[in-house]
Amino acid sequence: MKLCDQKGQALVELALSIFVLVLIVFGITEFSRVMYIRNTLNLAAREGARLAAVTPSPVDESKVVDHVESCIPFNQTGLTVTVTPTNFTSGCTITVVASLPFQTVVPLLITQLDDITLTGQASMRYEY
């Protein structure tokens, strides 16, 4: 066989395998983004719970929400922060939950991640 007869075969193999490689690379990238956002939401909720736990009474819930929002360095479209309970008494447990809907970078390739809402939660005892 001549070498010139195999040029089309290599092109077809590349066309079939490049799609799988691109899908794997974008899958790894999106999974990494999910983990980063989830860890950031946990950190922000922990910072908000800590602020509420060490601030003398009365603690304003809007200050906690603003502090949680300031701890998140990326786009916060759809971010919801809940603080429970709203009135703090000595020894009560303060819970801060931050949730954010995930928006994928490549919506045409990976559609399963569009319906995920990532949450971060932290609880601390009120110290005053």
Ordered per-residue pLDDT tens for the chain, 128 residues: 555 666 678 888 888 899 899 889 988 998 999 999 999 999 999 999 999 888 887 778 889 999 999 999 988 889 999 999 877 777 789 999 999 998 888 777 666 667 789 999 999 998 77
d(Cα 70, Cα 27) in Å, to the nearest integer? 29
In the block, residue with structure tokens 């736990």? 53
Which of 60, 46, 61 lies closest to 98, judged by CA?
A: 46
Please tell me the pTM assigned to this model: 0.81
Q: If you ran DSSP here, which 8-state letter would residue 103 be given?
A: -
Domain coordinates in residue numbering, the chain: 3-125
